[in-house]
Amino acid sequence: MMSKTYEVEIKIPHSDSESIEAAILARAGTRMNSETQTDIYFDHPCRSFKDSDEAIRIRSRSSIIDEPPEESHPLVELTYKGPKIDSTTKTREEYSVGLSDADTATKILESLGFKRVATIVKRRVFYRIDDVILSLDDVAGVGTFLELEMIATGDEQMNAKRASLIQLVRDLGLDPADSVTESYLELYLKGTPRT
């Protein structure tokens, strides 16, 4: 049996990108690329993803200032996110597949009865510290956030990486208790900007 793949993530609202960037660079972080991401979220025709805490989205990426997109991600992808599995981080099962055409993929989902819920646009500046990807996110209609993410395979690796992210948040001078577990879609639908 194949092990589950998890996205282990911590998201913290903030209002000072410059000091957070300085803290990342002081911890031997490397600035990577900047991009704008447009995420179209859908709801299932037979059940509510809001109730099941799942998500399906099509993401389109465009680079800013002629920088290449993050090396391991296609310019368009379809992603499924399962329910969050703990109350302190935004850890969940996740699967993605690269696509060549966001418009056609959208038409396929809509033809199958999926309904568009929202379109979320965010500008992201990416950094790396060891095997952690960090991003300073400016999300239209939602606010500004620091996101820290790792991918884990299996439960044991997931628990170790979650502990590692929590420690890195502390090392950056932030409080893990300030993290939010809602997705950008959930925050957007609440309609209250967070900074």
Q: How far apart are CA 194 and CA 77, in angstroms?
A: 27
CB 7 within 8 A of CB 157: no
Of these residues, 6, 41, 127, 188, which one is catalytic? 41
Instruction: Tell me whether residue 41 is one of the annotated catalytic residues.
Output: yes
Eight-state DSSP code of residue 79: E
Q: Distance (Å, rounded) from C-alpha 103 to C-alpha 23? A: 39
CA-based Rg of the chain, rounded to a whole angstrom? 16
Residues with Cβ within 8 Å of residue 89, at least 6 apart in sequence: 8, 9, 10, 162, 165, 166, 179, 181
Q: How many CB atoms lie within 10 A of CB 156?
A: 10
Question: Largest Cα–Cα distance in the chain?
Answer: 49
CA distance 107 to 153: 32
Question: What amino acid positions are annotated as catalytic residues?
Answer: 41
